[in-house]
A and B are shown apart, each in its own frame.
Chain A
């Protein structure tokens, strides 16, 4: 049975009744939800499970899709801080830019940001078995990208930016996962425990599905991003603190 898409005008609405309504709709089998006039509502799709597509027209508040497990959220506008916070699985697609701590502690699924992101993007992203979170950024990122990163992939395409990233502290404290940035990254921008390694054809092969999906999502031509001009940043150790202590 085909269930009609649910369209909600959320102008002036508080997030709690909104989320309750979304949850109830998903429970009743709705697969397509459109939120119009979104402005500042936090926690949209927070902890939401299920196979549902939510279109957000406007600027949602912080923690979009936090703890989300499964759904897809597409934002036609910018997002505030920490979209994809501690997200479990599913997809966020942001047709604008996003604030600080994007994909904070994200453990699975994908976050695609067409524009730029703020500080500490992908901080403490982590992976486990088949769950490998992806944060892909079309524009650039501010400082401390992938700080404390423990797994997953951060991809920065740097469209319109040369170099793609010019802020410091990339991968500071990284002990898992990889950060891939188009073009070259100055050594002085690397954080503690991060190191550059050669970006190989195999790497490109591995990452190209992400590039293609990103381009598809935002209607871009992928061919110009499928060159080998990337810089790959990985942890110098999976035990960065092992040598810090002595026993009493």
Chain B
């Protein structure tokens, strides 16, 4: 008995009148959609992932792509995807692996929040002409200052612990070398160095090509401890313990052996071609006090010179967990919402586990504030931040800064096709194949990413100026400047924002 094939996901067609047979599509498609036979370009649409590489390279706009060209009998519950997943699993008996973030049509809270602006009772500020302060310090802050007074001189008694100084409250999150290519990572590194902010290395160690930008990196230590030694810890400007990830809370990760090429193997310090497995928990953290111990251990190893962040997936009890983290010596809590991207995650996790970042930020901010310790620890939010509006709203809900991931990859060409786990990324991002990696020129790539950071920074300044604010501290947690539009009362209460009109 056979289940037969399922309909095409995408159909590619070529306008033969427009096509000049330049063969760029053939050369660019790493999935093998195009081939040449008898001087004719033939198409195998079934291999298409909608990565748009061919479209973007076609000089004549001759290629057309249609999603789901074949109809199923429409059904609100049994969508085409639901049916196809069942067919796939009844064929294989395996866990479905998917790329990028949550692909379920949950309501987007960011799109139900609106920002405020000044009219009459206070003046807007033009950020191009008057000071506008976006400088953000990430790290532990004292609860209060103490001074010593002698002969009328006042001296500061409280010691500040090291903080990261960001020129804009926007960083690039952790995407490891291995998950993405070296040229992609290098582009991000150059961009953050240029724009006065930071990027995460992911849990893959640090390739020596990144060393020149190490002062702008946050090195990650995850459960696999790949590439982690004392040199690595000392290189980063800060250290991040990854406990969980929004795209797949509660499970570990693994880099498939085929992505472990010689350079990746060297950076991660593991044998060539072997699976790099990150267990679900850190096996030296089974409880909150163990986390505090790892935080202190990292600080001790680096002579208390590095801020230590702790990243968790936004899960139901995120506020209490964050409060526990805040009580350790950790400098920042990173919360990754359920829309967070990933190279590969079991689809059932990606689409079903965790909570949205908007609610998580607010809940954590509120819990820490209730306990009077909000300002002592920084909150970094990530997972589905698409534009400066999302950035501003995240900060107004209580974040100190955000991490972006997918957005920074789109700046390098990514079209969110979601096939990262296959290692064939035609944009040279999620692949280790040298011929594909070479498609990214880090000089140009870094300019695109830096442009994106600058553009959002500029827009954030404009939004703040319009709201009569000239320092980022005054936007942070300032829910007075947010209103909920068509949000239910329960959610308004979680977000601690009023309805529009109220």
Contact = CB atoms under 8 A, between A and B. Distances in A.
A240 B275 contact: yes
Nearest to B268: A128
Given A43-B300, A128-B269, A150-B274, A248 B347 contact: yes
Interface in B88-103: 88-89, 91-92, 94-99
A104 B303 contact: no
Contact of B96 (A42, A101, A246): A246
6 contacts: A42-B296, A47-B230, A63-B284, A147-B283, A247-B421, A248-B418
Contacts, number: 137
Interface residues of B, number: 45
Contacts of B97: 245-248
Nearest to B302: A47
A150 B304 CA distance: 31
Interface of A: 15-16, 19-20, 23, 42-43, 46-47, 49, 62-63, 66-69, 81-82, 85-86, 88, 101, 104-105, 107, 120, 123-124, 126-128, 131, 147-148, 150-151, 173, 175-176, 238-248
B301 interface: yes
Contacts of A128: 265-266, 269-271
B451 to A, nearest CB: 32
Contact of B230 (A62, A88, A248): A88
Contacts of B347: 248
B233 interface: yes
Interface stretch (B191-199, B221-229, B370-378, B429-437): B221-229
Contact of A150 (B91, B229, B270): B270
B256 interface: yes
Nearest to B88: A246
Interface of B: 88-89, 91-92, 94-99, 223-225, 228-230, 233, 254, 256-257, 265-266, 269-271, 273-275, 277, 279, 283-284, 293, 296-297, 300-304, 346-347, 418, 421-422
A96 B277 CA distance: 32
A238 B274 contact: yes
A72 to B, nearest CB: 16
A148 B279 contact: yes
A153 to B, nearest CB: 15
Nearest to A66: B297
Contacts of A107: 225, 229, 269
Given A42-B293, A67-B229, A241 B275 contact: yes
Contacts of A66: 297, 301
A20 B305 CA distance: 12
B257 A239 contact: yes
A242 B257 contact: yes
Contact of A69 (B94, B229, B273, B300): B229
